[in-house]
Structure 1
Amino acid sequence: MVPATSASPTRFNKVPQVTIWFWIVKVLATTVGETGADLLTTNLRLGLTVTSWIMTGVFLVALVCQVRADDYRAPLYWITVVLISVVGTLISDNLVDGMGISLVTTSVVFAIILSIVFAAWYRSEGTLSIHSIVTRKRELFYWAAILFTFALGTSVGDLLAERLDLGYGAALVVFAAMIAAVAVSYYIIKLDEILCFWAAYVLTRPLGASTGDLLAKPQLAGGWGWGTVNTSLIFLAVIAAVVVYLTISKADHVTVEAAQS
C-alpha cells in the first residue's frame, strides 16, 4: 500500500486505467492540441502571445480543479489533458516561431527537461508508475511530465514533418511504426511496463500532431484541406462522446485496491 501523507491528502489514483480508450482519447487530444493552437493563433488572429496567456490561464484553472479533486473524474481529467496539449504546443511554437530557436534545439532541450522531471520524480517517490498517483506530490510530477511530453512531441513532430521535409503523411506513418515497435517491445519482448508507457506517451504526441496537420493543412501544403475549425470540432466531438461513455460506464476507473497497492 502507498499511504497518502498529511501534506499530500489524495487517497485514490487520480488518473484513468490504461485501456484502449485511454490511448484513443489521448491521440485525439493531441490532435486538438495542434489544430486548436493554430485555430486560436491564426484563424482567430489572437497571435501567439495572447493565445498563450489565455490558454495558460484556462489550463491552470483546470489543473487546480483536477489536483484538488479527491479521485479520478473523467471529464475533469480529459479537459485538463486537452488544455495541457494546447499549452505544450504553444510553448514549442513560441520558442520556434516567436523566438527563432531551431526545432533541433527545442527537441533536445525538452528531452533534457523531461529527463530531469523523471529523475526528480523517481528520486522523490521511487517510481514513475501512473498506477500509483495517490498523493498530490506525485500528481504534480505527473502533470509536469505530461506538459513536457507534449512540448517535446510538438517539436519532434514538426522537425520530421516540416524541417526535414518528410511530410505530414509520412511523419504519421513513422510515428505509428515507432509506437507499434513499443507495443511489440512490451507485449512480446516483455520490456519494462513503465518505460514502454512513457515512450508511447511521448510518441503519441507527434502522431496526433501529424494527424492534425495532415487533416487541417491545405492541399498545397501537403494536407487534406479540412481546416483547423472543422478538424478541431470533429475531434472535440469524438472526445466528448468517449468521455461521456467513460463517465457513465466507468470503464477506465481504477479500483480502490489497485490504486492503493
Structure 2
Amino acid sequence: MNKNIEHVLTKVPEVTLTFWIIKIAATTLGETGGDAVSMSMQLGYLVGTVIFAAVFLVAVMAQVKAKLFHPYLYWATIIATTTVGTTLADFADRSLGIGYAGGATLLFFLLMASLAIWHRVLGSVSVNTVSTPKEEMFYWVTIMFSQTLGTALGDWTADTAGLGYEGGAIIFGILLAIVAAAYKWTNLNRTLLFWAAFILTRPLGAVVGDFLDKPLSAGGLALSRFSASATLIIMIIACIMLFPQRAGKSTGH
C-alpha cells in the first residue's frame, strides 16, 4: 500500500491558494530572519550565509531522505532557502560590490541554467514530477537560486529603482495578479506560470520584510526583526494546522 502511494504522490505539496499564502509568508520570514542574524546580531552577511547554508543542506538532506511528503519538513526547507537566499544576495550585492543589477543578472542566468539542465536531464521541470532524489536535488537547487534572485530583485526595485518598499510590493503584487489571471483565463503552459509565480513571490516577500523592519526614515515600520520573524513563524504553523496540505499527485514525465 505504502509503495503504491510513493509512486503516486510527489514530495511537494499540492499547489493551492494555501500554498501561495504560506510561500509569501515564508519568503517574508526569510528576509526578516536573514536580516536578524546578519544585521541585528551583527554577524555579517558572510557568516550569516555560512550558517543558513548549513541549515539549508541539513534540511534538504532530511527532505530527500524522507519517504513521503511532510508539510513541516517541506516548509522548513523552503524557509531555509529564503534565509540563505537573503544573506547570500546581500553578500554578493553589498560585500562583493556586484550591485543589485549585477547580482540579479548573474542569479537570473544561474536560475535559467538550473532549469535548462534539469529539463535536459529529466525531461520536465514540473513540480508534479518531483518524487525521486534526483528530481528533488534539481528542485531544491532551482528554488535556492530563485529565492536568491528574488532577494536581489526586491532590493533593486525598492532601493535602486527608487520605488520604495510599498511601491515594490505593489509592482510585484500586480505581476503576481497577472500570472494568476493568465492561469485562470489562458492556456499558457502551467509549469511556466508556476515558476513565474514562485519566483515573483520572493521579491514580494523581500520588500514586505524590509517594509516591516526597516527604520521609519527609510520608509519602513521599524518593527523588531525578531518579533516580526516570530509572528511569521506562528502564522505559517497556523496555516499548516488549519489547512492541512496534501502531497501533489505525480504525473510522471
Secondary structure of the 1:236 match is helix
**Distance in 1 (alpha carbons) for counterparts of 2:246 and 2:242:** 10
Q: Which deviates more from structure 2 when the two are superposed, residues 180-189 or residues 14-23?
A: 180-189
Whole-angstrom CA distance in 2 between matches of 1:245 and 1:63:
25
TM-score (norm 1): 0.91
Deviation at 1:253? 2.7
Tell me which residue corresponds to 2:3: none
1:163 aligns with 2:157: no
CA displacement 1:174-218 (0-9 Å, x = unmatched): 000001111111111221100000000000000011111111112
Deviation by residue 1:133-187 (Cα, 9 ceiling, x = unmatched): 0111111110011001101111111111011111000100000000111111111
Q: Residues 14 and 246 of structure 2 are in contact (CA less than 8 Å); yes or no, is this contact kept in structure 1?
A: yes
Q: 1:208 matched to which residue of 2?
A: 205
Question: For residues 172 and 224 of structure 2, what CA distance do their matches in structure 1 show?
Answer: 22
Alignment correspondent of 2:100: 103
Residue 67 of structure 2 aligns to a residue in which SS? coil
- Provide the aligned length of Structure 1 versus Structure 2: 248
Quote the residue 2:60 is aligned against: 63
What letter matches 1:259 in structure 2? S
Quick one: distance in 1 between partners of 2:148 and 2:57? 16
- Structure 1: which amino acid aligns with 2:208? T
Runs of at least 5 residues in structure 2 that lack an aligned partner in the other structure: 1-5
The alignment partner of 1:223 has SS state of coil
Give the aligned partner of residue 39 of structure 1. Answer: 36
Q: Is the 8 A contact 2:31 2:210 kept in 1?
A: yes
Partner of 1:237: 234
TM-score (norm 2): 0.94
Matches within 5 A, 1:214-253: 214-246=211-243, 249=244, 251-253=245-247
Whether the aligned pair in 2 keeps the contact of 1:185 and 1:191 (CA below 8 Å) is yes
1:219-246: CA deviation from partner (whole Å, max 9, x where unpaired)? 1110122231221111111012122335
1:88-99 matched pairs, under 5 angstroms: 88-99=85-96
Name the CA distance, whole Å, in 2 between partners of 1:117 and 1:39. Answer: 29
Is contact 1:134–1:260 with CA below 8 Å preserved after alignment? no
Does residue 141 (structure 1) correspond to residue 141 (structure 2)? The answer is: no
Can you list the C-alpha shifts for 1:10-35, whole angstroms capped at 9, x where unaligned? 74411000011110110011001111
Q: Which amino acid aligns with 2:98?
A: I
Shift of 1:101: 0.7
Which consecutive segments of 4 or more residues in structure 1 shift more than 4 A?
none
Q: 2:83 aligned with 1:80, yes or no?
A: no
C-alpha separation in 1, matches of 2:103 and 2:11: 30
